[in-house]
Structure 1
Amino acid sequence: MAGQTPILDQFLRSVASFVQNRDGAKLQDFLQIEPPLSDIYQQMIQELRRRYPSPQGDNELLQRCEGLVPRTKGASSWIAFPTFMKLYFAFLRDVNVDNLLETYNRLRGLLNQCVMALGDSQMGVIVLPTVFYLSKVLAKLAMGLDRRPELIAHLLRSEGLADREESIEKVTLVEQSANVVREAFIKCLTDRSGTPGPQGKPEGKRIGIYLMANLCLKLLFQCGKLRNAEQMFASISAQSPPLARFPASQRVTYLYYLGRYLFSNNLFYPAQIALQSAYDQCHRQALSQRHLILTYLIPCNIIMGRFPSQKLLQRNEAQGLAEHFEPLRRLIIRGDYIAFRQHLSLSSSSAQWFSRKGTLLAIRNRCEILVWRSFCRRVFIEGGFHGDLQVNGQRGPPPYLYLQKMAVATQWLRSKHNQLPLNGNSNLNTPQYYGPQTISEPTDPDYADLEDPSRVAAPEADQSILGKYGDYISPDSFFDEGGHSQQNTPGQLVDGDPNVDFEGLELDPYAAIDDFEVDQPSLLMREIESILSSLLTQGLMRGYLTHRNPRFAIPGARLRGALPTGYPNVWQTISAREREDSSVPGWVRPPPTIIGGPAMAAGGRVVNLSGARPVGVQ
Structure 2
Amino acid sequence: MATPVLDQFLGSVAELVQNRDGVKLQDFLQIEPPLSDIYMRMIDELRQHYASGPQKDAELLRRCEGLVPRSKGSSSWTAFPTFLKLYLTFLRDVNVGNLLDTYNFLKGLVNQCVLALGDSQMGIIVLHTVLYLSKVLAKLAMGLDRRPDLIANILRMEGQADREENVEKVTLVEQSANVVREAFIKCLTDRTGTPGPQGKPEGKRVGIYLMANLCLKLLFQCGKLRNAEQMFASISAQSPPLTYFPASQRVTYLYYLGRYLFSNNLFFPAQIALQAAYDQCHRQAVSQRHLILTYLIPCNIILGRFPSQTLLQRSEAQGLGERFGPLCQLIARGNYIAFREHLSVRSPAADWFARKGILLALRNRCEILVWRSFARKVFILGGFHGDPQAQAQRGPPPYLYLEKLVVATEWLRSQHGRSLNGTSVAHKSYGSQVISTPTDPDYDGLTDSTGITTDSELLDKFGDFLAPDGFFDDRGQWQENIPGQLVDGDPDPDYEGYQLDPYSEYDAADQSSLLMQEIESILASLLTQGLMRGYLTHRKPRFAIPGARLRGALPTGFPNVWQTISARESEDSSVPGWVQPPASAAFGAGTAALAGGSRVVNLKGARPVGVQ
Displacement, 1:161? 3.9
Residues 453, 484 of structure 2: 8 Å contact kept: no
Q: Please, what TM-score do these two structures have when normalized by structure 1?
A: 0.89
Change in CA separation of 1:398 and 1:202 when aligned onto 2, cut-off 3 Å: same
- In structure 2, what is the equivalent of residue 339 of structure 1? 338
26-35 vs 54-63, greater mean Cα deviation: 54-63
Displacement, 1:343? 1.1
Displacement, 1:388? 1.2
- In structure 1, what is the equivalent of residue 567 of structure 2? 576
Q: Find the aligned partners of 1:497 and 1:192 in 2 and give their Cα distance.
A: 67
392-401 vs 403-412, greater mean Cα deviation: 392-401
Displacement, 1:113? 0.1
Displacement, 1:151? 4.6
Show the 5 A alignment for 1:363-374.
363-374=362-373
Report SS of the residue matched to 2:571.
coil
Pairwise CA RMSD of aligned residues?
3.3
Q: Find the aligned partners of 2:116 and 2:516 in 1 and give their Cα distance.
A: 68
Residues 414, 439 of structure 1: 8 Å contact kept: no
Q: Please, what TM-score do these two structures have when normalized by structure 2?
A: 0.90
Show the 5 A alignment for 1:79-158.
79-158=78-157
Residues 542, 565 of structure 1: 8 Å contact kept: yes
Change in CA separation of 1:214 and 1:420 when aligned onto 2, cut-off 3 Å: closer
Change in CA separation of 1:192 and 1:450 when aligned onto 2, cut-off 3 Å: closer
Q: Find the aligned partners of 2:445 and 2:199 in 1 and give their Cα distance.
A: 69
Structure 2: tracts of 5 or more residues without a match: none
Show CA shifts across 1:448-481 (max 9, x none): 99999xx44xxxx669699969866886554455
Q: Please point out which of 20, 23, 28 is paired with 1:22.
A: 20
Counterpart AA for 2:383 = G
Counterpart AA for 2:404 = K
Report SS of the residue matched to 1:552.
strand
- In structure 2, what is the equivalent of residue 434 of structure 1? 430
> How many residues are matched?
599
Q: Find the aligned partners of 2:420 and 2:312 in 1 and give their Cα distance.
A: 41
Residues 418, 424 of structure 2: 8 Å contact kept: no
Displacement, 1:221? 0.5
Q: Find the aligned partners of 1:341 and 1:15 in 2 and give their Cα distance.
A: 63
Q: Please point out which of 44, 47, 65 is paired with 1:46.
A: 44
Report SS of the residue matched to 1:516.
coil
- In structure 1, what is the equivalent of residue 248 of structure 2? 249
Displacement, 1:404? 1.1
Displacement, 1:598? 4.9
- In structure 2, what is the equivalent of residue 211 of structure 1? 210
Q: Find the aligned partners of 2:455 and 2:102 in 1 and give their Cα distance.
A: 53
Show the 5 A alignment for 1:556-571.
556-571=547-562
Q: Find the aligned partners of 1:558 and 1:357 in 2 and give their Cα distance.
A: 45
Residues 398, 557 of structure 1: 8 Å contact kept: yes
Q: Find the aligned partners of 2:199 and 2:396 in 1 and give their Cα distance.
A: 62
306-315 vs 110-119, greater mean Cα deviation: 306-315
Displacement, 1:110? 0.0
Change in CA separation of 1:152 and 1:526 when aligned onto 2, cut-off 3 Å: same
Change in CA separation of 1:405 and 1:599 when aligned onto 2, cut-off 3 Å: closer
The reply on whether 1:546 has 2:537 as its aligned counterpart is: yes
The reply on whether 1:398 has 2:397 as its aligned counterpart is: yes
Residues 145, 151 of structure 2: 8 Å contact kept: no
- In structure 2, what is the equivalent of residue 514 of structure 1? 507
- In structure 1, what is the equivalent of residue 417 of structure 2? 418
- In structure 2, what is the equivalent of residue 225 of structure 1? 224
Report SS of the residue matched to 2:255.
helix
372-381 vs 506-515, greater mean Cα deviation: 506-515
Report SS of the residue matched to 2:48.
helix
- In structure 1, what is the equivalent of residue 579 of structure 2? 588
Change in CA separation of 1:210 and 1:336 when aligned onto 2, cut-off 3 Å: same
Report SS of the residue matched to 2:536.
strand
Report SS of the residue matched to 1:580.
helix
- In structure 2, what is the equivalent of residue 10 of structure 1? 8
- In structure 2, what is the equivalent of residue 235 of structure 1? 234
Q: Find the aligned partners of 1:450 and 1:83 in 2 and give their Cα distance.
A: 61
508-517 vs 570-579, greater mean Cα deviation: 508-517
Q: Please point out which of 28, 33, 36 is paired with 1:35.
A: 33
Displacement, 1:217? 0.4
Show CA shifts across 1:236-287 (max 9, x none): 0000111111111111111111111111101111111111111111111111
Displacement, 1:418? 1.5
Displacement, 1:393? 2.6
Show CA shifts across 1:86-113 (max 9, x none): 0000000000001001000000000000
Residues 343, 350 of structure 1: 8 Å contact kept: yes
Residues 594, 601 of structure 1: 8 Å contact kept: no
Displacement, 1:8? 0.2
Q: Find the aligned partners of 2:106 and 2:376 in 1 and give their Cα distance.
A: 61
Percent identical among aligned pairs is 72
Counterpart AA for 2:563 = Q
- In structure 1, what is the equivalent of residue 357 of structure 2? 358
Q: Find the aligned partners of 1:236 and 1:11 in 2 and give their Cα distance.
A: 38
Report SS of the residue matched to 1:579.
helix
Displacement, 1:328? 1.1
Show the 5 A alignment for 1:56-71.
56=54, 57-71=56-70
Show CA shifts across 1:59-87 (max 9, x none): 11111111011111111110000000000
Displacement, 1:497? 7.3
